[in-house]
């Protein structure tokens, strides 16, 4: 290897290290904001209903957490606002044959 090639490799390696070091910051800037909502659901009568609602909602792109409460007749859903909207979650629940109400934001 010539001296020039060695120098190029050192410079390239340095630039690569800077790029790599910059990547996590860039990713965290683009990290989507998470939002949690309670969505009332009519029509859930048993634990099977709750599970029937939970699984497809959990599989929606952007959803990170789903808790379905049979007692409260509601679902608490945490999702990335850049990838999903509460309206789409409501539509998904309605599409399962239940009736989703107005989402209410949770602190």
- Assign 18 to helix, strand or coil: helix
Q: Are 60 and 11 in contact (CB under 8 A)?
A: no
Measure the CA–CA gap between 49 and 45, rounded to whole angstroms: 6
Least distance to Cu ion, CB of residue 48, Å: 4
Rule CB under 5 A: is residue 7 a binding residue for Cu ion?
Answer: no
Query: Given phi > 0 = left and psi -120 to 50 = alpha, else beta, which region is 52?
Result: alpha
Query: Applying CB under 5 A, what is the total number of residues that bind Cu ion?
Result: 4
The one among 49, 57, 66, 68 contacting Cu ion by CB under 5 A: 49
Rule CB under 5 A: is residue 71 a binding residue for Cu ion?
Answer: no
Residue with smaller CB distance to Cu ion, 15 or 51: 51
| Torsion angle, alpha carbons of 20, 24, 25, 29, to 10 | 140
Measure the CA–CA gap between 53 and 56, rounded to whole angstroms: 6
Least distance to Cu ion, CB of residue 42, Å: 12
Q: 19-48 mask for Cu ion (x: CB under 5 A)?
A: --------------------------xx-x
Residue with smaller CB distance to Cu ion, 68 or 90: 68
Binding site for Cu ion (CB under 5 A): 45-46, 48-49
């Amino acid at each position: 290897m010539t001296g020039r090639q060695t120098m190029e490799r050192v410079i390239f390696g340095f630039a690569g290290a800077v790029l790599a070091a910059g990547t996590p910051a860039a990713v965290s800037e683009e990290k989507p904001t998470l939002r949690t909502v309670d969505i009332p659901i009519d029509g859930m009568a048993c634990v099977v209903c709750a599970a029937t609602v939970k699984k497809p909602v959990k599989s929606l792109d952007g959803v990170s957490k789903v808790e379905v409460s049979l007692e409260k007749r509601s679902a608490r859903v945490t999702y990335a606002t850049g990838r999903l909207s509460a309206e789409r979650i409501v539509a998904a629940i309605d599409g399962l044959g239940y009736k989703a109400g107005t989402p209410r934001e949770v602190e």
